[in-house]
Structure 1
Amino acid sequence: MKKTIVCIALVAFAFSCGNDDSVTNEEPQSLPVEEGRSQQISDVYDYQIKVNQAAHVAVLNNLVTQSLVFEETATETELLALQDAWKTAFLNWKSNEVFNLGAIQSSFIHTRINQWPTNYEALEENIASEETLNNDFVSSVGANTKGYSAIEYLLFHETNAVILTELTTGENAERRMQYLLALIENLAEQAEFLQTFWEGVEPSFKSNLETGVNGSQNQVVNAIIASLEAMKGTKIEEALNAETDGETYFEAYRSRTSKEALIVNLNTLYKSYLGAYEAQTGFGLDDYLIEVLNRPDLDIALQEAFVVAMSDLEAIDGAIEDTLVTDVAALETLRTDLQTIIGLFKTDFSSAANIVVTFNDTDGD
């Protein structure tokens, strides 16, 4: 049963708080550590990882269908529809990429789905080569010439008029179309493989309740920290530090969906922390803090930090790629917001929950 927490209603992003319990002078009864850990891990798998994997496979099946329609009727209308299908699938992936942990991480499957930035020079060489451009070929090439970023390059690197010409009547148009279709087919195949992989490791993931680096809860917290560090560092800081062409350092600058991707990233992390999933309220890390560790103070600090970061991110006007010119201070504030959350997880939460932090950033924070 959830204990009282402070409701934070700064933005629509904040989820509903736990119900107030009757005030009592009795000491709260803590949930046993292993029981709380088991409940948190089971719920994050059943209500977030499993559900998100199925949704990802579904949106990629739609992307495959739309790509075949585009092949048959390569018009500007169908190109726009294909671009929209890519954006939908890419943003869905942003709710899955945080869970790159344990056996999943060791399989390198995430890099085959999205390795950013893409090596577009090598990609163009593949198109210009004499290799047969099919699913098998895509499986054989490096991660930075396939997956979401490679598809984004082919669909968004120029104006739609130029892209349509490249894929229909331009030089190597037939091979460019073949590569695009093969990339999408391979991406859908990788998503199905990842879903099956997760189904296979479900029992061990749920039963691994040990403390230390191999424990599932430890891995989840480290994955959250790594995702936050990636958002702050490679997805924001590199653009801020770039001497020229800073906008090209944003993850999805060609499609101008970098801001939306960051929103999904942060929203997913907050849902995981709260146990506030799409169709089910579960036992989150916040419940673990309150009901096992008796640290409502830390829960309040984390919720406040998440909400401030999301509020500042959503307040950025327009595409984040333009913010380097129009409002660089907003990006610097967002970077600071994310560092606040990182600090709370790496220091306070890890100490309270006996988490061994294995992720180290490279900037000394």
Structure 2
Amino acid sequence: MKNKILFIAFLLLVFSCGNDDSEDNVSIPEVSTEDGRRMQVSDLYDFQIKVNQTAHVALLDGLVSASHDFSSNPTEVELLALQNAWKTSFLNWKSNEVFNLGIIQSSFIHTRINQWPINFEAIEENILVEETLDNDFVSSKGANTKGYSAIEYLLFHDTSNIVLIELTTANNAEKRMQYLLALIENLNEQSIILKEFWGEVEPSFKSNLETGVNGSQNQVVNAIIAGLESMKGTKIEEALNAESDGVIYFEAYRSEISKEALIENLETLNNSYLGDYIGEEGFGLDDYLIEVLDRPDIDIAIQETFQVALNDLYDINGPIEDTLVSDIEALDNLRVDLQTIIGLLKTDFSSAANIVVTFNDTDGD
């Protein structure tokens, strides 16, 4: 009887092994982890970072030309052309600033291109010095007195008529014009340095596929999180929490294109996640989630929250500066939207992809 029981048990074991389809239930990744990382960071560099750096330099060449035209013929028409050239270049920068990562971040080039808020009192003091206000002078000064935001202050801090007078016939007009031209020249120079620097680090950026804080994909995800945190915190929450005159906490309130700047930021982050670049469909972080990690659930959640935030931003009527009076709820909804995306990236995505989150917000959320 004992032998019969053992024989039956043996047959059941053989039958179960022969019919074991557990291997069929194991999801085999379509793309290996290393190949997925390689494609994601390479496409991001080739189709986003490299393309945008080239476009940024070209636009700043145009800003330099517009500044020379205005200096030679300081009319209201030329001032308007210069202001528009600044807006176009600045908005392009919003698609570049989010990739302040790794060795690029440690070089502090980004802060020399745009540091916000600026110290307008120090700018006014710089204009009054006796020395020549040229590129070397600007280079010697702190980041909060140069770059995009300093130029915005000179071009937009008052009505166009007053700005024109300040730069042409008012006391210290010549020095003010010198400083404006020097700021634009210095900004152009820094953009070229940044573009060349990215070219130098391209090989290491594309080949650094390790896990942990030094890996390129890890740095990219942290840069996206940092970009979202910046939008939510310093670009929205400070305006919401201000006891008075909250409008001054919007990044581009003088030129009234803060909303357009936020849209450029958010669209860039969304497209970088999707691998949806201008004229190219690359391998994005969404593809990495699906084809490497087999986590379409996380991808769906992230894509949906990005779209909700974008729609809420698009739906804000007029300059975002006006929402503090007309529709503060819309601004708070946008803040919540951004926090939802941040939460998904910090927890769900980072856990699935073994990302070490090194950026932490300061408000405890």
- Whether TM-score is above 0.5 comes out as yes
Aligned to 1:51: 51
Q: Distance in 1 between matches of 2:150 and 2:129?
A: 17
Paired letter, 2:322: D
Aligned to 1:66: 66
3-state DSSP of counterpart to 1:233: helix
Check the 8 A contact 2:239/2:248 in 1, yes or no. Answer: yes
Aligned to 1:263: 263
Aligned to 1:98: 98
1:114-263 map, 5 Å: 114-263=114-263
Aligned to 1:88: 88
**Unpaired runs of at least 5, structure 2:** 1-24
Aligned to 1:18: none
Is 1:77 matched with 2:77?
Answer: yes
Q: Distance in 1 between matches of 2:41 and 2:90?
A: 26
Q: Distance in 2 between matches of 1:348 and 1:129?
A: 54
Q: Distance in 2 between matches of 1:215 and 1:30?
A: 22
Aligned to 2:287: 287
Aligned to 2:5: none
Q: Which has the larger radius of gyration?
A: 2
Per-residue deviation, 1:336: 0.2
Q: Distance in 2 between matches of 1:336 and 1:207?
A: 36
Q: Distance in 2 between matches of 1:325 and 1:131?
A: 44
Q: Which has the higher helix share?
A: 2
3-state DSSP of counterpart to 1:211: coil
Aligned to 1:353: 353
Check the 8 A contact 1:30/1:293 in 2, yes or no. Answer: no
Percent of aligned pairs sharing the same letter: 74
RMSD, matched Cα: 1.2
Per-residue deviation, 1:131: 2.0
Is 1:110 matched with 2:110?
Answer: yes
3-state DSSP of counterpart to 2:276: coil
Q: Distance in 1 between matches of 2:92 and 2:166?
A: 28
Check the 8 A contact 2:29/2:294 in 1, yes or no. Answer: no
Check the 8 A contact 2:247/2:324 in 1, yes or no. Answer: yes
Per-residue deviation, 1:134: 0.2
Per-residue deviation, 1:129: 1.1
Check the 8 A contact 1:79/1:164 in 2, yes or no. Answer: yes
Paired letter, 1:132: T
Check the 8 A contact 2:27/2:294 in 1, yes or no. Answer: no
> Could you tell me the TM-score, scaled by structure 1's length?
0.93
Q: Deviations over 1:270-324 (max 9, x none)?
A: 1100000002110000000000000111111011000000000010010000100
Aligned to 2:31: 31
Per-residue deviation, 1:26: 10
Check the 8 A contact 2:309/2:338 in 1, yes or no. Answer: yes
Tell me: CA distance 1:212–1:319, structure 2 relative to 1, closer, same or farther (3 Å): same
Paired letter, 2:275: G
Q: Distance in 1 between matches of 2:27 and 2:224?
A: 32
Per-residue deviation, 1:27: 5.2
3-state DSSP of counterpart to 1:70: helix
Q: Distance in 2 between matches of 1:246 and 1:293?
A: 43
Aligned to 2:42: 42
**Unpaired runs of at least 5, structure 1:** 1-24
Per-residue deviation, 1:28: 5.7
Aligned to 1:363: 363
Check the 8 A contact 2:98/2:227 in 1, yes or no. Answer: yes
Q: Deviations over 1:44-80 (max 9, x none)?
A: 0000000000000000000000000000110001100
Q: Distance in 2 between matches of 1:348 and 1:29?
A: 19
Check the 8 A contact 2:29/2:293 in 1, yes or no. Answer: no
1:325-364 map, 5 Å: 325-364=325-364
Check the 8 A contact 1:38/1:207 in 2, yes or no. Answer: yes
Check the 8 A contact 2:240/2:324 in 1, yes or no. Answer: yes
Aligned to 1:313: 313
Q: Distance in 2 between matches of 1:77 and 1:124?
A: 25
Per-residue deviation, 1:29: 4.1
Q: Distance in 2 between matches of 1:240 and 1:131?
A: 41
3-state DSSP of counterpart to 1:308: helix
Check the 8 A contact 2:43/2:275 in 1, yes or no. Answer: yes
Q: Distance in 2 between matches of 1:29 and 1:314?
A: 37
Q: Deviations over 1:132-157 (max 9, x none)?
A: 10000000000000000000000000
